[in-house]
Structures are given as C-alpha cells and as structure tokens.
Amino acid sequence: MVAVHRDWSPFVVSAPGKVILFGEHAVVYGKAAIAGSLDMRAYALVTPRTDSKARMVLPDIGVDVLFDSHTLPLLSGTELSHPSEVEALVPSSISIPEGPGRTAVLTFVYLYGCIFAESDRTTGFTLCVRSLLPVGAGLGSSAAFNVALSATLLQLTGQLQEEGVSASDRKLINQWAFHGEQVAHGTPSGIDNSVATYGGFLKYIKGEPSVNLESTHALRVLITNTNVPKSTKALVAGVRALRDRYPSVVDGILDSIDSVSTTAATLFQSTSEAEETLEQQMQDIIRINHGLLSTLGVSHASLERVREVTAARNLASKLTGAGGGGCALTLIPNGMASGDVDVVARELEGEGFHCYQTVVGGGGVAIARNVDGKVTVEQWLADTMERHNSPADGDDGNVYGRAVAGFATLPAAAIAVLKPE
C-alpha cells in the first residue's frame, strides 16, 4: 500500500485544451497530424476533508457527487474492454447523471478505482473543476478534464514527484488520462490527452509516441465555434465510406494531407526563415488542408462561411477536428492589431458564431502545490460562479475575465504555475 500523508494542503492542477492544426481525419489512416495546446484550460482545486469521502464538484456541467470511498471499486487498470462496463461499477447509492455529467462520473469512478487501488482510501478530498473550454466543441475539454483528474488522483496517492511535473510524472498522467478518454469515447487516438499533458506542438502518428516539435513559434489564432453540432463518429464513417468507393482517389488526398502535416512540422522547427515568410507559408498550407478536408466531405456551410469572412480580410482558415460544424481556426499574423482581430471576431459573431482569441503552444499540465491552506472550494466556487452566472458576463468570448475572477483567492505564485507560457 502506498503511504499517504494525512496532512496535506490544497493544491490546484491545470491542463490545456487542444486544437488540431493539421491532419485530422488522415490521422485515422496512420498519417501525421499536428496539434497544439490552447491557452484555455481546465482548473482543478483539491482540498482535504475531515472524513474519508471523495466529493467531485463540476459546476460547468451541473455535477456535485459525494462518494463513500470504500464503496468505489478496486480496479487493476486493465479490466476495461468496453466503456459501458464502467456503469456497473458505480456504487448503487450514486445516481448517474444524464448528459456530460454522465461521462465525468463514470471516468471518476474508473480512474479512482485504478489509481487508488493500492492506496489509502481514507484520504478524503473535495475536487472542484472549472474549465474555460466549451464542452463538446472539439477543443479537447474532455482531455483537459481527464489530465487534471488523473494528475489529481496521482498527486493524492503520492505517485508524483514533490516539485514541478517531471518527465516520468507526465508519462504516468498521460497514460491514465488516455484511459479516461477511453471511458468517454471507446477508441480515442490519444492525441488530445497527449497535448493536454505535454503542451506545445505535437506531431502525432497513431500507435507511435508523440513528438514534441520544440517550436519557438507560439501561434495566434482565432477559434470560431460555429455552434453547429457534429458527430465525430458519423464524419469519420463518411470518410471511410468515400474511401471504400474511391480508394485510390481518397488515398491520394490522405497522402496530400500527410505532406501538409510534414511540411508544417518543418515550418514549426525552422529557424532560418523570416517570421513573415513562415507566416505566409503557414497560411498557404492552412488553405490547402481545408480544401483537402472539404473534398473529403467534412466541411459544412457554416465552416465555409467562416472561411469566406476571413478570406475577405486575407486571413487563412480551416476546420479543426472532425468538421461538419464544430470549430474553425484562423491564423492571426503576429503583426495584426488586436483591434483588427476584434472586428473580424465581431463579424463572425454577427453570423451566430462564438469566437475565442487564443494562443497555441503553451505549457501542458501544471500543478501548484501547497496553496494557501485557507483556500476553500466554496470560496473559489463563489468567485468563479459569480462571474459565470452574471448576465453582464454572458459574452463567452470574455473567458479571461472569468478566469481571473476565479483566481482572486489563489496566491500569485500559484497562478504563475498554473498559467504556464
């Protein structure tokens, strides 16, 4: 049994969302994809309890559950052959919520069962997760949640190093977060949890370890959520059906997408080209990648509208993720004034879309340990909820205002750790 210190101070974990920059769909067929971390993150505050219960509070998706730790299953981590099996493991005293809360509860039960299998279950805690990522919009909100949850459980069971997050810590966190993604999706590629764990830009090929591109170029992007619901499963199936009918044609397109990703990887790592030339080349391959995806039938009228509106201002856009709705990304040149970006964002919001101005390529999972012992979940929640529920703050684009409000109760040193560049 792993020994756990009975006395511990609150800690906060944060993990980023992701955006697929190049290579979606082709990645399913073993081609390269490139993804980057967003500076929109999930934040988990973990505080001790005097009893041995585990409470999980997820205000963004309306979940507040209290588990009697001893009723949670004891798992080996290899028992999951189908996500639906987890349902049978949930203690009968807990009613499984409908909607997004369902996956979150199932994931918690599974990961707690595995990560606490060898550990002292009398460690009571309250875990509260707030996230700046829209749920189910293709920006990896589940991976950010799963990485934050895995890091939390590993920290509570003394399986992480005492300071920072080491390479072996990341490997462990990533493995468990992948299991969490499996509970949610069955067969995830693993790219989302890898980005949420390692941050930066990753080149990813299915079945191979992800490669950190060590880029020094952070990318400014405008992300537009078309708010059009999409089914990743149906879109992936659509591409497969097209490939079955026209194998050589579709394979040619997939190979071209692979070349796009490989070219992008070279650009990210380039130190010889001038910034402007790189930006121009990046815009070219963004346009090409979108065109190729569109020929695979995974674009949508809303995504084409984003492309048109931004193209009118000489900006390059592509769909990101599964397509068929969901999100598009637009590369923002470094020299573009933020006022000018606001104008584009307002125009897109006029079409009924939601825009996020963000930077890609920031840090992965981060942990601030021993935060002020006086920080309580209730206080933190009250701060974040106040902003979250205020009609005046109804503009979802204003995510930073919300985050900062939520952190007013945390010491500045903790905030610095949690928002790594």
Ligand X SMILES: Nc1ncnc2c1ncn2[C@@H]1O[C@H](COP(=O)(O)OP(=O)(O)OP(=O)(O)O)[C@@H](O)[C@H]1O
Q: 142, 150, 194, 215: which is the annotated catalytic residue?
A: 142
State which residue, 141 or 215, has the beta carbon closest to ligand X: 141
Residue 103 interface partner, choices ligand X, Mg ion, ligand MEV, none, CB cut-off 5-8 Å depending on type:
ligand X
Contact segment (CB under 6 A) with ligand X among 75-83, 129-137, 203-211, 262-270 equals: 129-137
Q: Which residues pair with 331 in a beta bridge?
A: 221
State which residue, 142 or 197, has the beta carbon closest to Mg ion: 142
Query: Strand, coil or helix: what is 115?
Result: helix
State which residue, 142 or 330, has the beta carbon closest to Mg ion: 142
Query: Strand, coil or helix: what is 15?
Result: strand
Distance, CA of 320 to CA of 332 (rounded, Å): 15
Residues making contact with ligand MEV (CB under 6 A)? 20, 24-25, 27-28, 138, 189, 232, 236, 321-322
Query: Strand, coil or helix: what is 35?
Result: strand
Inter-axis angle of helices 232-245 and 247-269, to 10 degrees? Answer: 120
Does residue 324 touch ligand X according to CB under 6 A? Answer: no
Token pair recorded at residue 237? 């199936």
Q: Among residues 37, 69, 119, 142, which is the contact residue for Mg ion, using CB under 5 A?
A: 142
- The site map against ligand X for 78-117 (x = CB under 6 A) is ----------------------x--xx-------------
b/e per residue, 292-317, with b = 16+ CB within 10 A?
Answer: bbbebebbbebbebbbebbeeeebbb
State which residue, 309 or 324, has the beta carbon closest to ligand X: 324
Does residue 321 touch ligand X according to CB under 6 A? Answer: yes
Residue 362 interface partner, choices Mg ion, ligand MEV, ligand X, none, CB cut-off 5-8 Å depending on type:
none
Distance, CA of 303 to CA of 311 (rounded, Å): 12
Does residue 146 touch Mg ion according to CB under 5 A? Answer: no
342 belongs to the catalytic site: no
52 belongs to the catalytic site: no
Q: Which residues pair with 43 in a beta bridge?
A: 14, 130
| Residues in 39-78 that interact with ligand X by CB under 6 A | 58, 60-61
Residue pair 239/250 in contact (Cβ under 8 Å)? The answer is yes
Residue pair 21/330 in contact (Cβ under 8 Å)? The answer is no
Complete DSSP assignment for 320-350: ETT-SSSEEEEEE-TTS-HHHHHHHHHHHHH
Residue 211 interface partner, choices Mg ion, ligand MEV, ligand X, none, CB cut-off 5-8 Å depending on type:
none
Residue 242 interface partner, choices ligand X, ligand MEV, Mg ion, none, CB cut-off 5-8 Å depending on type:
none
Instruction: Tell me which residues are annotated as active site.
Output: 142, 192
Residues lying near Mg ion in the complex (CB under 5 A) are found at 142
